[in-house]
């Protein structure tokens, strides 16, 4: 299979939420959700040459002993702080469409893009948790309508970010914008990268029409290859280019057996209550997670397991890239420690095999003050 000429882009699915790495009480380091930990991890990832940092947006936890994801840093303010202390790496925010007004998000996003000198991106999620939105007094719309609303939200962002101030109008069942005005517009041209993390037919249509990246869960290489081909094909048919990323749980030890034993310990200490609550929400509200993903949910919110020795992990990341994925948002067991280990033990293998491009070499970093397009980094 051809691989992207840019190479696999490396990102972290950051621990801005508590217990990010696993729905389990087994841990080998302190929980890393707090800002100082996130900052330390961000700086280590940037020094290693990683491409992007990506958060989770959650408004309440899933109970149990871990209260999985229950303590979380809000992702616009989180990105603001990380953009201010880094200089090369891209930082995303994840925005729940039902919880925000798009004109406010356009302004916040442009502000973030200026703080980061063209390094911010947005992941728009339609929302699925009745508990979260019920708490805010918001209804969860039927699935198709949710994505129609997300489509309108993106149209408003793009209008405000790209058209002459005062000239943008929008009318839909959810929003009315008259003479839309938002200055400054973002640094990136035509606008910061827009991600959607849905997998359904509804999501794929929005992605093909409007997004730069599809971030997806994956159950196996064959199904991922088919999903990526489908999403990219839909975009190509519309004269657009969409890139795709998945989120692997990456754990490696000196031997495969040691790595598998550690995964077994994580699963043996699964927080059944939190896991059950999370599954119930997904089963009720989202149609896209398959059985395998649900079974492996203990590892990083349904992440795809990439387990073994450093060599085996490099092989598996190469296979993911060969399946058509342009990027990975890695979940680590111990983020700071594993970012340093990854840079030492796995990155050289990926470089030697041509799986990652020279962009992962900090020495090749772009001048962050230059006006940047929204590719190649996610």
Contact status: 287 vs ligand FMN (CB under 6 A) = yes
- 18: contact with ligand FMN by CB under 6 A: no
Torsion 344-83-165-147 (CA) sign: positive
62 or 342, CB closer to ligand FMN? 62
Compose the 325-354 pattern: x for residues touching ligand FMN by CB under 6 A, - for all others: ----x-------------------------
Measure the CA–CA gap between 78 and 271, rounded to whole angstroms.
Answer: 27
Which SS3 state, helix, strand or coil, does residue 207 take?
Answer: helix
Q: Is 95 near ligand FMN (CB under 6 A)?
A: no
Quote the tokens at residue 284: 């009720």
CA–CA gap between residue 336 and residue 73 (Å, rounded):
17
Question: Considering only 20-28, 84-92, 212-220, 260-268, which stretch makes contact with ligand FMN by CB under 6 A?
Answer: 212-220
Please choose, out of 84-92, 98-106, 196-204, 334-342, the segment that lies near ligand FMN by the rule CB under 6 A: 196-204
Choose which of 19, 21, 24, 57 interacts with ligand FMN (CB under 6 A): 57
- With CB under 6 A as the contact rule, the residue among 198, 300, 318, 376 that binds ligand FMN is 198
Tokens of 140: 């969860």
Q: Which is nearer to ligand FMN, 325 or 346 (CB)?
A: 325
Q: According to the binding rule CB under 6 A, does residue 153 interact with ligand FMN?
A: no
3-state SS class at 277: helix
Residue 15: name the closest of 90, 68, 51, 86 by CA: 68
Window of 121-129, 150-158, 248-256, 270-278 that interacts with ligand FMN by CB under 6 A? 121-129
Residue with tokens 């910061």: 192
Residue 134 found at the interface with ligand FMN (CB under 6 A):
no
Structure tokens at 260: 């598998």
CA distances from 8 to 157, 189, 278 (A): 28, 23, 30
Alpha-carbon span 333 to 267, nearest angstrom: 13
Q: How far is the CB of 163 from ligand FMN (least distance, A)?
A: 27
Q: Binding residues for ligand FMN, per CB under 6 A?
A: 56-57, 94, 125-128, 197-200, 203, 215-217, 247, 286-288, 329
């Amino acid at each position: 299979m051809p691989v992207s000429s840019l190479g696999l882009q490396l990102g972290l699915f950051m621990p801005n939420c508590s217990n990010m790495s696993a729905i389990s009480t087994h841990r080998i380091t302190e929980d890393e959700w707090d800002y100082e930990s996130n900052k330390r991890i961000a700086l280590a990832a940037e020094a290693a040459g990683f491409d992007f940092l990506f958060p989770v947006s959650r408004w309440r936890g899933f109970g149990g002993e871990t209260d999985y994801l229950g303590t979380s840093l809000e992702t616009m303010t989180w990105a603001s702080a990380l953009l201010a202390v880094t200089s090369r790496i891209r930082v995303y925010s994840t925005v729940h469409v039902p919880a925000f007004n798009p004109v406010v998000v356009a302004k916040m996003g442009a502000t973030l893009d200026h703080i980061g000198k063209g390094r911010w991106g947005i992941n728009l999620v339609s929302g699925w948790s009745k508990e979260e939105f019920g708490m805010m007094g918001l209804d969860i719309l039927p699935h198709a309508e949710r994505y129609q609303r997300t489509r309108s939200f993106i149209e408003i962002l793009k209008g405000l970010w790209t058209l002459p101030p005062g000239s943008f109008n929008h009318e839909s069942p959810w929003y009315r914008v008259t003479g839309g005005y938002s200055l400054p517009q973002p640094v990136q041209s035509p606008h910061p990268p827009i991600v959607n993390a849905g997998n359904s037919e509804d999501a794929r249509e929005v992605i093909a029409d409007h997004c730069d990246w599809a971030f997806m869960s994956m159950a196996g290489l064959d199904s991922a290859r088919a999903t990526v081909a489908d999403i990219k094909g839909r975009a190509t048919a519309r004269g657009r280019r969409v890139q795709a990323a998945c989120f692997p749980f990456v754990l490696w030890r000196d031997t495969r057996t040691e790595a598998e034993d550690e995964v077994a310990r994580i699963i043996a200490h699964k927080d059944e209550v939190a896991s059950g609550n999370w599954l119930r929400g997904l089963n009720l509200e989202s149609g896209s997670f398959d059985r395998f993903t649900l079974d492996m949910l203990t590892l990083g919110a349904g992440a795809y397991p990439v387990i073994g020795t450093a060599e085996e992990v490099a092989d598996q990341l190469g296979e993911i890239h060969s399946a058509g994925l342009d990027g990975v948002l890695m979940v680590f067991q111990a983020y700071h420690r594993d970012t340093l280990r990854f840079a030492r033990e796995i990155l050289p293998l990926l470089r030697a095999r041509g799986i990652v491009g020279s962009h992962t070499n900090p020495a090749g970093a772009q001048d962050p003050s230059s006006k940047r397009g929204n590719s190649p980094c996610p």
